[in-house]
Amino acid sequence: MPFPLADRVIQLAYDPGITPAGGGLPGLAVLKNVVNSINLFGIVAVVGALAVSLGVWAWGHHSGGHQAEANGKKGAVVAAGAALGLGAANAVVAFFSNLGSQVQ
């Protein structure tokens, strides 16, 4: 027996009642520690990439190597963007998680 269209729409709008809850699984503190360490490792790597890129930019500028200068500038911008993303990752996820929880 086929369901009427109204019943199908009601089934699509059903709320399963699932929400994020801290402390539900063992090892959550360990996972947070691992993710924090990965983020720190990424930030340290970005500092190194920025230093190398700025060095290439300066070397290219003073030696007349326009390609090296352009690559140094590009690397500096990419490293700055990566630093921005790593630093703002927690806030971005929290923002969109809160935004998603308001959808009804």
Tokens at residue 88, please? Answer: 């703002």
Q: Supply the pLDDT for residue 23.
A: 77
Kindly give, in sequence order, each residue whose CB lies less than 8 Å from that of residue 21, ignoring residues fewer than 6 positions away: none
* pLDDT digit string, tens, across residues 7-27: 655 556 666 677 777 777 888
Nearest to 61 by CA among 76, 52, 47, 72: 72
pTM: 0.72
Tokens at residue 27, please? Answer: 């090892």
Residue found under tokens 């140094």: 72
Q: Which residue has the higher pLDDT, 100 or 78?
A: 78
Q: Which residue has the higher pLDDT, 88 or 10?
A: 88
Tokens at residue 78, please? Answer: 């990419």
pLDDT, mean of residues 67-87: 96
Q: Which residue has the higher pLDDT, 33 or 11?
A: 33
Residue found under tokens 């190194």: 48
Residue 6, burial from CB neighbour count under 10 angstroms (0-12, 13-18, 19+): exposed
